[in-house]
Amino acid sequence: MPVDRELLDILVCPSCRGEVEYRPEEEIIVCLKCGYRYPVRDDIPVMLIEEAEKPASP
């Protein structure tokens, strides 16, 4: 069962409040503003900063 579309419509990044994008093939949710990558486990987004993969430093 995929992540619910209505849930995805209201999610924002807990770090910067930026818009997020779901990438089902990678099972992650990516913040389009700060680049944090949040895991999706068993079709449930884990929107915790402690669980996020931080973006690579330039």
pLDDT band at 10 (very low <50, low <70, confident <90, very high): very high
In this structure, what token pair is assigned to residue 23?
């990438």
Is the pLDDT at 49 greater than 90, yes or no?
A: yes
Write down the pTM of the prediction.
Answer: 0.88
Higher pLDDT, 19 or 5: 19
pLDDT for 5 equals 87
Per-domain boundaries in the chain? 5-51
- Strand 44-45 relative to strand 37-41: parallel, antiparallel, unpaired? antiparallel
pLDDT band at 4 (very low <50, low <70, confident <90, very high): confident
Other CB atoms within a 10 A radius of the CB of residue 46 amount to 14
Is the pLDDT at 2 greater than 90, yes or no?
A: no
**5-51 CATH, one of 2.60.120.680, 2.20.25.10, 2.60.40.420, 3.40.640.10:** 2.20.25.10
Burial string for 19-40 (b: 16+ CB within 10 Å, else e) reads: ebebeeeeebbbbeeebbbbbb
pLDDT for 56 equals 79
